[in-house]
Structure 1
């Protein structure tokens, strides 16, 4: 083995972070295997690598016994003492058996081992980098697509965008730049496997963190997200500081902040509502843009009955029930919506009780804070 290879191991240790000792151990193990394979030897051997001059020797290790049953693994006491009188039964003797043509095989084997270990180390670095970015957002470039996946280049690795994670409103073409949400990072024999999504609710949350400084620094908190990707989403936001308008912070001046998110999601409609620990207010807010007259809460079943004006019944329910469905996902409460007329007939709403809209008064705009961008 050449001293140049040993120098290369030292360089690899510095550049790739692979321990030189680990590489040498791997090379020794591979050389033992190569010796047995190429020279038809089944004996117990040890490889000695001299780090100073790069020399390499192979030693056969034999147990010293009184009676030999396998000459490849054992030697009699008399034979051992002919080499050195100090040997006793039970000792292990080492005899050099380095083949003349072993240098070429050793160099080839060492190269293969180093190449493999470098590849494994690089995969490990990539895996460690991306495992820390699970549930984070990255910008990638679409490389290609087939019937199974869209392949997105994230720099050091190609991520997989499965059909179930693709937005139906998007057509992914090579060289398109897209922001994706990393859902899972797996370690495989071929290297790290990265799975990404364009439909995950986490993508919406991360996009708002990028666009709204108050969310990034924690002044405004996203409490919940419900999403039907490519069509419509709802997020609830909250600020501990009463002087901060969480909805206004997300919308931005002239809607610039939320519009940037809408543009990234190719026109997906977004409702932004104020979170509240009071289920009456929270559910009413979540049904934005519909006005709510009354919310009846059933704590035991975690269900609510919501009464809305007759002319806003279809608005509250939404197209194919979408508004009510998203509001239920957002709040975690079951929502049953009734019109004002039906509620009065059922005795759920009377003339003498104050309506929710009247109780909130001027707070309606901030408490209901829903913003819809068509």
Structure 2
């Protein structure tokens, strides 16, 4: 391998891999030093190489630590350690802070040099410093070390690339990223997210969602995790904040901070409830999230494979907030009790809707509000909490936007139509 060829390839590798030229040069120098030591060095030697990217020339040094008698074990001390079945070291140990620990070593002429001898080569050298002794480059070094250097270089570049990727995606934790399903290995889906593959584990997948090769989806970046094989980017399709991030993309009012998502509760693949509020009275937070003819909310629903979404009006009044959170059910009365518990009275015909299939609706409402909710049937004489009849309630502007009036499977989700459509349907009936 011609070392001068690295000069021409340096810029290309740096651009393609996204690694700085300095890192590549350091990698090259480490690889050359490793190959040189393997072919010409002695055990215990520390070899340093310096590569000139302009000329392609390489220079080598043997690095030795400057010591004196106080830093070395005596013969008696070495024998005493051996009797205790302790092996004296040739290297100074490092403390947790990276400083040299006060410990003696066994002198090794390949690693150490006495202070008096070192001063003959460099009068300014001090105890504990490293002396660099020039080595003669071998004429046939390039041919012999080519393959070794190439392998080490590729390995070092891969390591540097992984570090660069880890750093890049670490800064994107908590954000949304678009990716393409590359392949499926058991319960794990591997996602192409650009410079690396993201990992979508089974517990972060939406229940009932099927993935196919080449499919493009949006994912939430959970975290970058260090493993023995390097850094991996963990993704999620089930995390609640994925929904809020999707709404940020679709709703400018949320992205700008005018409309605020106060809380979110999600059961992936079935239903999500989002409580929203507006920083400006003139802005309707629910209408902003739904969009004209439901275009905004439907974009999120489609991305989530038909998962139902309820947009709830947030309120400082816990009674009102809890009543809103149990949408689409109509509530007769909410009583606040001790220990963050609320008893909710619901008309008989609304009980199943308030509780939801497998208790999902009341469970989501509880998670959304932070209150423990106890559903009880209301007395027949009681009317809905707002004092209106059911017929009057249908013609009033709703306090929440919901994807469906009945609790069904995730595949049957549709956005709620506008108020005018409801009136028209009633007349037709």
Q: TM-score range by the shorter chain?
A: 0.7 to 0.9
Provide, for residues 69-109 of structure 1, a one-character-per-residue CA deviation record: whole Å limited to 9, x for no partner: 977678999x99xx99x9xxx99794745444333344444
Paired with 2:239 and 2:180, the residues of 1 have a C-alpha distance of 19
User: Alpha-carbon deviation of 1:112?
Assistant: 3.7
Match of 2:20 in 1: 18
Match of 2:78 in 1: none
User: Alpha-carbon deviation of 1:286?
Assistant: 0.3
Alignment pair present for 1:331 and 2:347: no
User: Alpha-carbon deviation of 1:149?
Assistant: 0.8
Change (3 A) 1:48 1:123: closer
Change (3 A) 1:38 1:314: same
**C-alpha contact (below 8 Å) 1:137/1:181 kept by paired residues:** yes
Alignment pair present for 1:246 and 2:275: no
Paired with 1:64 and 1:221, the residues of 2 have a C-alpha distance of 66
Match of 1:313 in 2: 351
User: Alpha-carbon deviation of 1:365?
Assistant: 4.6
User: Alpha-carbon deviation of 1:26?
Assistant: 4.6
Match of 2:88 in 1: none
Which runs of structure 2 are paired with 1:1-374 in the superposition (5 Å)?
2-6=3-7, 8-9=9-10, 16-20=18-22, 23-39=24-40, 41-42=42-43, 44=45, 46-47=47-48, 49=50, 51=52, 53-58=55-60, 94=133, 96=135, 98-188=137-227, 190-298=229-337, 300-341=338-379, 356-358=385-387, 365=396, 368-373=399-404, 374=413
Provide, for residues 237-292 of structure 1, a one-character-per-residue CA deviation record: whole Å limited to 9, x for no partner: 11122222111111122222212222222222211110011101100100111222
Paired with 1:74 and 1:214, the residues of 2 have a C-alpha distance of 68
Tell me the TM-score normalized by structure 2. Answer: 0.70
Paired with 1:194 and 1:261, the residues of 2 have a C-alpha distance of 24
**C-alpha contact (below 8 Å) 1:309/1:339 kept by paired residues:** yes
Provide, for residues 178-232 of structure 1, a one-character-per-residue CA deviation record: whole Å limited to 9, x for no partner: 2222222224454431222222211211222222222222211111111111112
232-241 or 156-165: which moved more? 156-165
Change (3 A) 1:103 1:65: farther
**C-alpha contact (below 8 Å) 2:180/2:191 kept by paired residues:** yes
Paired with 2:110 and 2:370, the residues of 1 have a C-alpha distance of 73
Query: Which runs of 5 or more residues in structure 2 are unaligned?
Result: 70-106, 405-412, 414-429
Tell me the TM-score normalized by structure 1. Answer: 0.79
103-112 or 282-291: which moved more? 103-112
331-340 or 103-112: which moved more? 103-112
User: Alpha-carbon deviation of 1:368?
Assistant: 2.6
| Aligned pairs, number | 357
Paired with 2:184 and 2:300, the residues of 1 have a C-alpha distance of 25
User: Alpha-carbon deviation of 1:111?
Assistant: 3.5
SS of the residue aligned with 2:387?
helix
Change (3 A) 1:234 1:108: same
Paired with 1:10 and 1:171, the residues of 2 have a C-alpha distance of 42
Paired with 1:162 and 1:206, the residues of 2 have a C-alpha distance of 20
Query: Which runs of 5 or more residues in structure 1 are unaligned?
Result: none
7-16 or 32-41: which moved more? 7-16
117-126 or 137-146: which moved more? 117-126
**C-alpha contact (below 8 Å) 2:192/2:198 kept by paired residues:** yes
Change (3 A) 1:270 1:109: same
Provide, for residues 29-60 of structure 1, a one-character-per-residue CA deviation record: whole Å limited to 9, x for no partner: 44444344323623646545463644445455
**C-alpha contact (below 8 Å) 2:191/2:199 kept by paired residues:** yes
User: Alpha-carbon deviation of 1:304?
Assistant: 0.5
Match of 2:80 in 1: none
